[in-house]
Amino acid sequence: MEYVRNAWYVAGFASEFGEDLRRVTILEEHLVMFRASDGRVVALEDRCPHRLLPLSMGRRIGDTVQCGYHGMTFDTAGRCVRVPGQENLPAAAFVDAYPVHERHGIVWVWMGEPEKADPDTVFDLPEFSDPRWCTHQGGALHLKAHYLNVAENLVDPAHVSFVHPTTLGNAASENVPVHVSTSGPVITAWRWIRDAPPVGFFQKFGGFSGNVDRWHYYYLHLPCTAVIDFGSADAALALPEEERDRGVRVFAIHLLTPVGPDHTIDRWLHIRNTAIEDDAASEQIDTLLAAAFAEDKAVLEAIQREEARPLKRRPIRIAIDKAPNVYRKRIRDLIEAERTRDLGAPVKPAYVHHD
């Protein structure tokens, strides 16, 4: 088993779902999804139990889905309501239905045991609904990479100096130590680069030219949600850690969807505390972040190719790997717990106040 199943995974932004049938793949399973007449998003197994045709190739008849081969029809609970050519409905004529929860413009699907699905455990941040903050959906980056490698990159401040030297990082941070906290449900890694030149992002977006204090806080919520709180403030302010709101502060949120062993979708959005009604700023940030994420993509896809090749010797681990190592161990433990049916409580990637 490669995946934690009892967890909410992102199927897409709300705008991706409408009347049309849409195939979505999560944890190697194909789902057919659509927005029913009451506005709720429905997720069913995308495979007719008869001849296996994807139901997403069929058509909607009201709130039912009719298979495009022989017309077998299913309701939003996955129950078969019609088999053309016969009166009876076989007991085996059903498809799995998946719990769905939509919040803040994001559609989540529960991929595990349906009775364990609890909407209260869907990821949230108070800033999503705080008028002093501006939320902007970025894009959906497809990576030919395993989700563990993608997630690991999102709790790893140390790579920024080398992968993003002209956008999110610069040489000033190369040797600044990373702090790590792994005691709670969220794995956190952070560092401050004090009194140093601003990186490209904050030259362009924050307008800084003199030295700044810059922070990176990486919060990784198991299994697949990352929040990167980064920002800068005039170095003259000597900003304490808990007063980051006084600087230019941005949350970059990464919602990872493991599609398969070599395909992950990273849907990202950002929340910021300045220029909150400024669409041009949103676009500017999109452009800057998209450029940086393309740098990560190149690295992660190359690693994916290398991992598929024979190893000459065991890879080494170094000091900066602490948070990634803890993340991998927790995922392994969760998978093992599910495998042994000693499931305990479902994964709780709930909001933990970042300050």
Q: Which residues bind its own copies (CB under 8 A)?
A: 45, 47, 49-54, 57-58, 66-72, 83-86, 90, 92-93, 96, 158-159, 161-163, 174-175, 177-178, 298-299, 302-303, 306-307, 312-320
Taking the complex as a whole, how short is the minimal distance between the CB of residue 320 and its own copies, in angstroms?
4
Asked if 40 and 17 touch (Cβ cutoff 8 Å), the reply is: no
Taking the complex as a whole, how short is the minimal distance between the CB of residue 160 and its own copies, in angstroms?
10
Asked if 8 and 349 touch (Cβ cutoff 8 Å), the reply is: yes
User: Whose Cβ is closer to its own copies: residue 51's or residue 339's?
Assistant: 51
User: Whose Cβ is closer to its own copies: residue 54's or residue 247's?
Assistant: 54
Asked if 257 and 26 touch (Cβ cutoff 8 Å), the reply is: yes
Sequence-ordered alpha helix ranges (H) in the chain: 147-153, 160-163, 200-204, 279-307, 322-339
User: Whose Cβ is closer to its own copies: residue 239's or residue 300's?
Assistant: 300
Taking the complex as a whole, how short is the minimal distance between the CB of residue 159 and its own copies, in angstroms?
6
Which token pair is 272? 């910021």
Asked if 68 and 53 touch (Cβ cutoff 8 Å), the reply is: yes
Q: How far apart are CA 146 and CA 157, in angstroms?
A: 19
Taking the complex as a whole, how short is the minimal distance between the CB of residue 72 and its own copies, in angstroms?
8
Q: How far apart are CA 207 and CA 273, in angstroms?
A: 15
Taking the complex as a whole, how short is the minimal distance between the CB of residue 70 and its own copies, in angstroms?
5
User: Whose Cβ is closer to its own copies: residue 48's or residue 285's?
Assistant: 48
User: Whose Cβ is closer to its own copies: residue 255's or residue 256's?
Assistant: 256
User: Whose Cβ is closer to its own copies: residue 146's or residue 272's?
Assistant: 146
Q: How far apart are CA 52 and CA 241, in angstroms?
A: 56
Task: Tell me the backbone φ, ψ of residue 112, rounded to 5 degrees.
Answer: -105, -150
User: Whose Cβ is closer to its own copies: residue 178's or residue 212's?
Assistant: 178
Residue 315 is given by DSSP the state P
- Sign of dihedral through CA atoms 272, 299, 325, 321? negative
Taking the complex as a whole, how short is the minimal distance between the CB of residue 85 and its own copies, in angstroms?
4
Taking the complex as a whole, how short is the minimal distance between the CB of residue 182 and its own copies, in angstroms?
17
Task: Tell me the backbone φ, ψ of residue 188, rounded to 5 degrees.
Answer: -125, 135
Q: What is the largest CA-CA distance in the chain?
A: 79
